[in-house]
Amino acid sequence: MEHSEPVEEFEPTGEVVRGDNGPEIIIVRSFPQSAELVWDYLTGRDDFERWYGRWKRINETTYHLETWDGKDSADAVAVEAEKPKYLHLNVKTESGRESELKVFFEPEADGGCDMEFHHQFHNDEEAIAELGPRWEFLLDRLMLVLAGDDVNSVVLDNYLPHQKEHYQL
């Protein structure tokens, strides 16, 4: 998407840590909505499409995911899911990048929840600098759709390229 005026550059909120199984991006978001509702937006086909893109069920545990812009796709295998506390996916992109996504939910006393998002990389550490900002963008889109706001009020240019250095190993 081209812009005729400067785009606001959003500051990164996540971090990259080195775990026992390799580096991972960790991003935390606080939602005024319940963990159950946020969970539905991660796992429900229609809700997922509103902020991320499309998914198609391949079999009982495998899904094909495609981003909002149709530029990226991957197969995701549901390893473990405990609604609305924990979701664990193994992901393999068309280019062969393998990683794990883990999402943890913590309910808050006010009825909202904190969501801790982890993206762990197995064979493509260089992708972290690009994917950190992309996840910041996508998680902000999730927050916008849950708030009833326009997901198109943010664009990837708000995050890339200026957040890449923050996520670089």
Q: Which amino acid is at 169?
A: L
pLDDT, position 3:
44
Note whether residue 7 is domain-resident: no
Note whether residue 33 is domain-resident: yes
Note whether residue 158 is domain-resident: yes
Sheet containing 62-67, strands listed edge to edge, beginning at the edge strand earlier in sequence: 15-19, 22-31, 113-121, 98-107, 86-93, 73-82, 62-67, 53-57
Going 82 to 83 to 88 to 89, the CA torsion angle's sign is positive
pLDDT, position 90:
97
> Which residue numbers in the chain have pLDDT < 50?
1-4
Note whether residue 10 is domain-resident: no
Q: CA–CA separation, 77 vs 59, rounded Å?
A: 9
Three-state secondary structure call for residue 93: strand
Number of domains in the chain: 1
pLDDT, position 95:
86
Closest CA to 132 of 93, 140, 77: 140
* Contacts of residue 109, Cβ cutoff 8 Å, sequence gap at least 6: none
Task: List the domain range (segments joined by +) for residue 40.
Answer: 15-164
The DSSP output letter for 80 is E
Query: Whole-structure pTM over 0.75, yes or no?
Result: yes
Give the CATH number of the domain where residue 83 resides.
Answer: 3.30.530.20
pLDDT, position 4:
46
pLDDT tens-digit series, residues 3-45 = 445 568 899 999 999 988 889 999 999 999 999 999 999 999 9
Residue 32, both tokens? 């005024």
Note whether residue 67 is domain-resident: yes
pLDDT, position 126:
83
Note whether residue 1 is domain-resident: no
Residue 18, both tokens? 């080195």
Note whether residue 6 is domain-resident: no
Note whether residue 159 is domain-resident: yes
